[in-house]
Structure 1
Amino acid sequence: MDLATECYRATSGFPASETYGLTSQIRRSASSIPANIAEGHGRKLTGPFVQFLRIAQGSLKELETHLMLASRLSFLEENRLQDLLQAAEEIGKMIRSMIRRLQEKSA
């Protein structure tokens, strides 16, 4: 949720012409990460939870790509990009760890 919040803040200064483009893509991919984790957890079964965690991983990679593009287009300052990518990396580690533990538990 924190990463999604920071992505909303980071995109608030993007050009109006990007409202339905890059701004929307960043916000949607960022909010998709915690939403998929929550939905998977709500299924109460390990298999579906792992599948939703994998979807969250995909959204995380999509977000990273959009953030790098925003930086290349000079919509996002380098230091802000690095902070967001660092947070994304930490979240990716947590998701991978959760997947491993769930798979070990169900094996």
Structure 2
Amino acid sequence: MYNYKELIVWQKSMVLVEKVYTLTASFPPEEKFGFTSQIRRCAVSIPSNIAEGTGRKSKKAFRSFLEISNGSMNELKT
């Protein structure tokens, strides 16, 4: 349906992932498997769901993956 790499939202979310990894690298070592891991997983989930949604055969399915991506964004904000 779409080439996800051409979507500005995907491109910006990849920049966000890079920034999250850079920021969390300075977190205390005892947070590596807790807080740091959770933040990184929800950040990576954003572009991942956008990319997965583009591979679906309908706009309805794509929208569903965008909603999941938006949920991950809200999780990251929290």
TM over 0.5: yes
| TM superposition shift of 1:44 | 3.0
Q: Deviations over 1:46-69 (max 9, x none)?
A: 01100000000000000011xxxx
Q: Which runs of 5+ in 1 are unaligned?
A: 66-107
- From the two aligned structures, give the one with the greater helix fraction: 1
TM-score (norm 1): 0.60
Map of 1:42 onto structure 2: 55
| TM superposition shift of 1:41 | 0.6
Aligned length: 65
Identical-residue share of aligned pairs (%): 54
What amino acid does structure 1 have at the position aligned with 2:69?
Answer: A
In structure 2, the residue corresponding to 1:33 is in which secondary structure? helix
Runs of 4+ in 1 over 3 A off after TM superposition: none
In the alignment, does 2:71 pair up with 1:61? no
TM-score (norm 2): 0.81
